[in-house]
């Protein structure tokens, strides 16, 4: 069973983090986020930064620098218009920082996805005779997808 799992994971290795590729990325697939607003977007989508303590500001800069080095984030040029900004804040867990985005305002302008999260009782029913179940620690997992920028 272990060998079969390793073989399957190896087939889809580009979706998982490794020493050579520290962030898993789903390539060749762009996610389209449908908005119920047209460009130029309303002013409420542009939000100011949250106030941050020096400790949180330092952790935020470190997180941003790391994501820029990995190619997840890029610097916005001075003359580049940014229509949607989502402030990021730092949350602390076991004295380690974690950068999180505040998408509450943005979510008000998205069209609801009609594919709901599976219900737990349906999941357990489907797993009734399963021989192998895996789990992922979402605090240790990071994956990113490309977004369709034409919306």
pLDDT in tens, 10-46: 887 776 776 666 676 666 777 778 888 877 766 666 6
Q: What is the mean pLDDT of residues 72-77?
A: 79
Q: Is the pLDDT of residue 151 over 50?
A: no
Confidence band of 109 (pLDDT split at 50, 70, 90): confident
Which two structure tokens, joined as six digits, stand for 10? Answer: 């190896």
Between the alpha carbon of residue 38 and those of residues 34, 87, 123, 141, 148, the distances in Å are 10, 21, 38, 33, 15
Q: Look at the pTM and tell me if it is higher than 0.75.
A: no
- Range of the structural domain that residue 68 is part of: 2-136
CA nearest neighbour of 87 among 114, 57, 62, 124: 57
The whole-number pLDDT of residue 130 equals 80
Fill in the DSSP letter of residue 100: E
Fill in the DSSP letter of residue 114: S
The whole-number pLDDT of residue 2 equals 81
Does residue 81 belong to any structural domain of this protein?
yes
Does residue 82 belong to any structural domain of this protein?
yes
Q: Is the pLDDT of residue 66 over 80?
A: yes
Q: What is the mean pLDDT of residues 82-105?
A: 75
Does residue 127 belong to any structural domain of this protein?
yes
Q: Which of 91-107 are b and which e, b meaning 16 or more Cβ less than 10 Å from the residue's Cβ?
A: eeeeeeeebeeeeebbe
Does residue 151 belong to any structural domain of this protein?
no
CATH number reported for the structural domain that contains residue 16 in this entry: 3.10.10
Does residue 26 belong to any structural domain of this protein?
yes
């Amino acid at each position: 069973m272990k060998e079969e799992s390793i073989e399957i994971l190896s087939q889809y290795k580009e979706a998982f983090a490794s020493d050579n590729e520290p962030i898993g990325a789903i390539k060749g697939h762009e996610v389209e986020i449908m908005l119920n607003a047209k460009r130029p977007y309303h002013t409420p989508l542009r939000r100011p930064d949250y106030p941050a303590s020096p400790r949180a500001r330092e952790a935020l800069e470190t997180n941003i620098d790391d994501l820029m080095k990995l190619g997840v984030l890029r610097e916005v040029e001075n003359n580049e218009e940014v229509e949607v900004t989502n402030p990021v804040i730092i949350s602390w867990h076991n004295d380690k920082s974690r950068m999180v985005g505040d998408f509450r305002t943005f979510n008000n302008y998205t069209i609801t996805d009609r594919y709901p999260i599976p219900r737990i009782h349906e999941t357990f029913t489907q797993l009734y005779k399963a021989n192998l179940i895996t789990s992922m620690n979402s605090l240790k997992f990071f994956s990113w997808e490309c977004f369709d920028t034409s919306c």
